[in-house]
Structure 1
């Protein structure tokens, strides 16, 4: 059995022995009991600049292969979102390519009609973020002109996603947070967009732990007041809202919001700490999922949802619980660096040639943090080839001076 020396937070080292290779089955039919999207990351060319501020150059073969891997486990893909480094290195030019290419790949999967995706549409397989990141918030005019600029930026991105085929996710906007003066500005922008879209969209509310620039979203720093505004929008336009993704890492808030949603509007949990109990539900309602952690734990997530489909909710919950410690670690503060852990696991599992990230974000976590990520992933059965993972982990530690 493979073992290696891992660093510890107190400055020491210890020997760690890996577990046997896991065995996760892919679904033989589409998942039905829960709707789930894994928010996938992007993989840059290893020889690209990949420093802060440099234009993003993606390894398209590896990036799109990762999406096919997620689809093969029956999961949908949430793309061009914060997980894909929107606002943290992935510029709008690269994002447009990502949306269009992912739409083409999803259409090919629909045409192939594999066992995990039979009968699915492109919108079932992929949802893409539409935001306003082509704007510079600091350069926006105040007042009505700024609001109109935000609205037009959203319109342009919604058109790109709609034409490519995926479902639209209306992402939270740093630009709107900058120019809005209160709830009415948010209601005006979102109501206008919802009246204009042809098909229902997902609304995305991202908390400040993921993006501090979104403070005061929906017109208030008070979560209860912001929620009231959010709900008023959804109730007025329920026919245009497929669901909502709320990433506030507050399970109690999510349960209350879930109960208050109009019939037919889904709550896609974005709570990467409390997803096991939220997906499991309370016996009356459950959350669906649109989660960054699912991009890291997708074999286990698929197995859990397969168990729910088979009526074995106890096993489904147990599998999700077995990944919780890994999820909490990957999403520990500063939470917006969670993407680094997801890319690291992708590299350990052989899904990308190097541990590189757009904008230099691979430096966002410490050596010890990533060593713990390795250990927790192994304990959760999420290192598909332990020997390969140990080889790469050992190289990473040696390059970073551990044991030298």
Structure 2
């Protein structure tokens, strides 16, 4: 059945859009992939029926949130928990993140799903008055919580460290101390300022090549405590340069939501694994492509993955940190949650023009798995701005 609806353009004019209705695939049968490790950074679902301030006192719908993690595991993907996709530090406070980690790790262990959990310093208010010792204590509290829960640590970038560090040596000191204390290898996370402006100049340098040297020193001085590093700089060339300089056993996890197909596919010198927010939204396509890669079917991998790139680039357009809105909107369109409400009111961080274009690109990428439902829900969103 063909579905058509009117979508808005800039300025308020409308145009008819007829859905292609393609689905990316028959969903993969595998429950894991052997050529690449692929984490989807999972979003959280807010509880729309709690009468509380969504900014200062957000409430999570635990059932819907955990169901989505089970969906990701059922496709063979691993879950990266309590990351920026879950609005960590942008609506989700450490108290809620701690409970999210506890619940999600328990669910992962129950079904044999892989999970790694974000560790940061969001107990601290970033300022020059915060000391390096304060930063270390905050990191250690969260590291201890994740390890006690049975999760792997993702050592996220710290706004507090960025605010108080005087130079590269401070980063090397803090990260070195933390890595010596953890009980199992961690995933480091270098998040660029396009995702979080408060992380500008991380590793003590604004120049990414100089910052990379500092990060690489930390890794080479603690190689047995680093599983891998995720870099989210949206710079494929920088990722490839760093990938080739890592110790042999340390993995590169791409966080590049613009160039992920080629980075994961790799070249004659190597490849990246994945830890991506976009994999939350395109999970069926990503899992299908990874299954094709396992089977050596590179044409199938390319065909499925490349169709998702225009959608991802749209979702992650500036301001990049607002990408969470698009991720949750996709989950709503596909019936994974009954509403389009977000903690902190973040559903309002993108315009209806942006959402309409995203609907079109999602259809063309083949990730609207229930077209009739997606059309019905898109019409409800459009009706809120007077489009009928």
Asked if TM exceeds 0.5, the reply is: yes
Task: Kindly indicate whether the alpha-carbon contact (under 8 Å) linking 2:31 and 2:73 is maintained by their aligned counterparts in 1.
Answer: no
- Greater alpha carbon shift after TM alignment, 311-320 vs 86-95: 311-320
- 1:95-244 equivalence runs, <5 A: 95-110=97-112, 125-138=114-127, 141=129, 146-244=131-229
Q: Residues of 1 paired with 2:236 and 2:52: CA distance?
A: 36
Match of 2:375 among 390, 396, 399: 390
Q: Residues of 2 paired with 1:265 and 1:6: CA distance?
A: 46
Q: Residues of 1 paired with 2:205 and 2:51: CA distance?
A: 39
How many residue pairs align between the two structures?
386
Residues 1:54 and 1:252: Cα distance change in structure 2 (over 3 Å) = same
Task: Kindly indicate whether the alpha-carbon contact (under 8 Å) linking 1:51 and 1:358 is maintained by their aligned counterparts in 2.
Answer: no
The runs of at least 4 consecutive aligned structure 1 residues that moved more than 6 Å come to none
Q: Residues of 2 paired with 1:219 and 1:59: CA distance?
A: 39
Q: How far 1:167 sits from its partner (Å)?
A: 1.0
CA RMSD of aligned residues (A): 1.2
Q: Residues of 2 paired with 1:48 and 1:133: CA distance?
A: 24
Q: Residues of 1 paired with 2:21 and 2:207: CA distance?
A: 48
- 1:234-383 equivalence runs, <5 A: 234-383=219-368
SS in 2 for 1:74: coil
Q: How far 1:296 sits from its partner (Å)?
A: 0.5
Task: Kindly indicate whether the alpha-carbon contact (under 8 Å) linking 2:31 and 2:74 is maintained by their aligned counterparts in 1.
Answer: no
Task: Kindly indicate whether the alpha-carbon contact (under 8 Å) linking 1:55 and 1:91 is maintained by their aligned counterparts in 2.
Answer: no
Q: How far 1:27 sits from its partner (Å)?
A: 2.6
- Greater alpha carbon shift after TM alignment, 29-38 vs 327-336: 29-38
Tell me which residue corresponds to 2:14. 13
Q: Residues of 2 paired with 1:399 and 1:225: CA distance?
A: 48
Is 1:82 matched up with 2:70? no
Deviations 1:248-304 (A, max 9, x none): 000000010000101010000000001011011113301100000000000000000
SS in 2 for 1:93: helix
TM-score (ref. length: structure 1): 0.93
Q: How far 1:19 sits from its partner (Å)?
A: 2.2
Tell me which residue corresponds to 1:113. none
Match of 1:30 among 28, 32, 36: 32
Tell me which residue corresponds to 1:93. 95
Question: Structure 2: 5+ residue runs without aligned partners?
Answer: none
Q: How far 1:78 sits from its partner (Å)?
A: 0.5
Q: Residues of 2 paired with 1:310 and 1:34: CA distance?
A: 12
Q: Residues of 2 paired with 1:377 and 1:166: CA distance?
A: 33
SS in 2 for 1:260: coil
Q: How far 1:10 sits from its partner (Å)?
A: 4.2
Q: Residues of 2 paired with 1:246 and 1:262: CA distance?
A: 16
Tell me which residue corresponds to 2:63. 61
SS in 2 for 1:205: strand
